[in-house]
Structures are given as structure tokens and as C-alpha cells.
Amino acid sequence: MNAWIDKPLDLGSDLKAETAAARHMAGVLKTSDPRRASAAAAYAQDLLDRTLAAHVTGPVACAKGCNLCCHTFVSATIPEIFRLAELVRADTDAIAAAARAAKAIGQDRRFTTRVSCPLLKDGLCGGYDARPLACRTMLSRSLAACTAYFPVDGAGALDYAPGARESRGRVEMILAAALMLAGLPGKHVELIQGLAVALTVDNAEARWLAGEEIFAGVESDNGDASSDLATWGPILARQVSL
């Protein structure tokens, strides 16, 4: 199985690579490393980058300075939030202010009442290297489609680059299975609010790993229950346990 660990996923029906990756990630989460949640997220992000590089072909309209997708609801798993928090500790005040604004609006209104990601600096992402899986796969083939979709009300449809969404789904399934196997919550929470907690609660990662519900007041992604993760995460976890 170790032969699969550092390779991109092939996105086929054979889940050997996904099983190996979930087993590896669960092993990371079961160590005594106080940063093991961040380490699991880093592995998931690297795996996604490798998979995107292997499967996303053709032109992508996204370019440096384009941030249309950085002003709406974004969710991430808690390990991803801890990983991002390591990179942006100097921005605590701006993040806390944006988190209060986001919480007052709620997920269902974030297209019409927008909150800019507080990590944006002169139009660029200040946490780019540790950005969540959702941000990494926002790869569009059409600037016109994004311009019509994001600043208005989510009308129309995004023109995702082929392979982008499936790559994200596979890696999120792996992360969900690993968290389940490690006995940790796999829910997605609103990114800005979660980041504010990770930055302001002392020893946040260690306390969360110990079972403390420090994110209890953070808005959860209401799409979790209806997503494929609700089905495929447990299936992959059972496969790993065999």
C-alpha cells in the first residue's frame, strides 16, 4: 500500500490509492504529535495538488489578482483551519472582525451580503500556501461565468475545469474517513469564524484533539448532511478497517 502514498489519485473506480491515503492519514492523526491535525491537513492539501496537476488539463481562467470567489461562504474541516492558522497569526484582529460579520449574516445570505476574506491583501491571498481544499479547487474555465455568478446572487453556473471537483471530492472523502477512524469530528465549518477560534483560543489544536468542543459556536456547513461525504466517508473508513 505504501507505493500509493506519494502519488496522485487516479480518479478511477479502484479505491486502492484512496484506501492507502486514508490509512496513512489516520495513522498521522493517531500519533501523539500535538500538531497532528495540521499535519493531516498538509498531507491532504499536497495530495490534492498532485491530483489536480495530474488531471486538470486545458486552460484555466484563474489568474493572480482574481479574487471573485474570496467574498462568499467558504467552509473547511477543522484540521485545514489549524493548518491555515499557522500561517496567518499576525492578522488576528482583522480575522476576528470578519468572523463577527460573517456570523451575523449566515450561510444562506452570503451571496447577496458578502464578506471579504480577511486574508486578502491587495487582491492576493495571504494564506495561499495553506489555503483549504475548497479554495484549491476553485478552478474556472471562464472569467465571464465567475463574474456573473459571484458578485450577484449565485445565479447561473460556474464552469469548473474538468477534474477539479472530482479531485476535491476524493481527497475530502479520504480526510473524512481518516478523521472518523481517529475518532475526530469531520464536519465542515465556516472558514473565517473557525479561523478566529483557532487564533484566539489558547492551545486550540491540542484542546480540540483532546475532545474539547472549542468550535461549538462556529457555523457549520449546512450542505454536509446532503453531500457525498456523508455516504462515502464511512464506506472508505470501513474499507480501511478491513
pLDDT in tens, 126-179: 999 999 999 999 999 999 999 888 876 666 788 999 999 999 999 999 999 999
Calculate helix-pair angle for 164-181, 229-241, nearest 10 degrees: 60
Residue 4's pLDDT band, with cuts at 50, 70 and 90, is confident
The answer to whether the beta carbons of residues 186 and 179 sit under 8 Å apart is yes
| Closest C-alpha among 140, 10, 154 to residue 62 | 140
Model pTM?
A: 0.94
- Taking every pair of Cα atoms in the chain, the longest distance, rounded to a whole number of angstroms, is 50
* CB-CB contact of 51 with 9 (8 Å): yes
Q: How many CB atoms lie within 10 A of CB 226?
A: 8
